[in-house]
Amino acid sequence: MNKAGLDGIQAEGKKVLMRVDFNVPLDSSRNITDDTRITAALPSIKFVLAQGGSVILMSHLGRPKGKIVSEMTLRPVADRLAELVDAPVKFAIDTVGPDASEKSSRLQPGEILLLENLRFNPGETTNDEGFAAGLAQLADTYVNDAFGTAHRAHASTVGVTKHFATCRAGFLMEKELKNLGGLLSEPRRPFVAILGGAKVAGKVEIILNLLDQVDVLLLGGGMIFTFFKSAGLNIGKSLLDEGSLEVVKEITLKSKDSKADLILPTDCTVATEFNDKADRKDVLVTDIPSDWMGLDIGQVSTRSYQEIVLKAKTIFWNGPMGVFELPSFAAGTRGIAEAVAEASDNGAMSVVGGGDSVAAVNQFGVSDRIGHISTGGGASLELMSGRQLPGIEALCDA
């Protein structure tokens, strides 16, 4: 994962085509509610401008499925970017059409051009050769700073790279590769991974891979009830990922021969319904009432998990322990967030990846104490699963 970086670029007088991840949340009035992904790309953008180059930015927003959807235009992003940089920001109303072509041809050193939503064109997600070639014609060299889309073989991440002699990783991409790659290549031990979230499906490969990599794997979130059901326990009205029952048996079997300790909660917080005001109580996982549902790990398990995390030298966390959006069921996730932060304060290397985990560390006010917060949920999961990411493979080696 040692890829050519921005430090070696000769950008003076050049137009740099840069894939960024500006897939930001918007409210009903199309106001940006969180500009983190825009600010995360600024170091790479400013570096090219400072060298005397110009930048042509391309990103997707939402899932328009190859059609023009006015609610998913990147124009609000262009407006916000113009407020954040001391440089002219132009906006093209297309990607490979006449407006993009004209504005890119007139782009001067020190200027920025943001193209319209890549996914308005069906050729983006199908990695269409013609669409990729059209994007490449706009610029002299290519940089990918969108780790969050590196697991997609799209025109802007893979196809376009065939048209440039050198394809580099931006600063954000380099940071992700260094931190996530370091977890798998040379972690300090004990190495503790914490996985949560609703379903086992989508986490199977990372669970199986981490069983060969970590010392302890802690599980939480809705997925635990599929493990309990597989073990023959009554889970009441708790979430069941029925399609994963067989693979859970495979995971459980592998864990017995792996070097990692696979640990599940011994108690959980249950409620009569999915409601913050519902009756709730902590019970042993063997004693879940038939008409109740599990919505968080219990207090005993939270304390036990915290003790394990605090002894760790390397930590990877993806997925909440419960329905932390509801205050009544946030204790488990808050406990993990605080433990990861405290372990980081004490010198542990910590990486938090995945949208819900990132939202959790922000909600509980510990984000500034985490070693690295990954910007790519799906990409970070696939990397930690041991997969090759197409968008990274397409970049030139250092």
Residue positions annotated with a catalytic role: 37, 199, 355, 378
Radius of gyration of the chain (CA): 23
- Side chain identity at residue 372, one-letter code: H
Residues 301, 332, 321, 384, CA torsion sign: negative
- Asked if 239 and 222 touch (Cβ cutoff 8 Å), the reply is yes
Beta strands 141-144 and 15-19, pairing class = parallel
Q: How far apart (Å, rounded) are the C-alpha atoms in residues 304 and 295?
A: 18
E strand or H helix at 41, and its extent?
helix 36-50
How would you class 369 by CB atoms within 10 Å of its CB: exposed for 0-12, middle for 13-18, buried for 19 or more? Answer: middle
- Asked if 13 and 5 touch (Cβ cutoff 8 Å), the reply is no
Phi, psi at residue 275, to the nearest 5°? -155, 135
Q: Of 308, 234, 309, which Cα lies nearest the Cα of 268?
A: 234
Q: Which two tokens stand for residue 40?
A: 């995360």
SS3 category, 216: strand
How would you class 150 by CB atoms within 10 Å of its CB: exposed for 0-12, middle for 13-18, buried for 19 or more? Answer: buried
Q: In Å, what is the CA distance from 193 to each residue of 116, 217, 384?
A: 39, 5, 11
Q: How far apart (Å, rounded) are the C-alpha atoms in residues 120 and 116?
A: 8
SS3 category, 252: helix
Q: Of 314, 322, 296, which Cα lies nearest the Cα of 370?
A: 314
Contacts of 307 (CB under 8 A, 6+ apart): none
CA dihedral 163, 168, 171, 175 (to 10 degrees): 120
Q: How far apart (Å, rounded) are the C-alpha atoms in residues 139 and 18?
A: 9
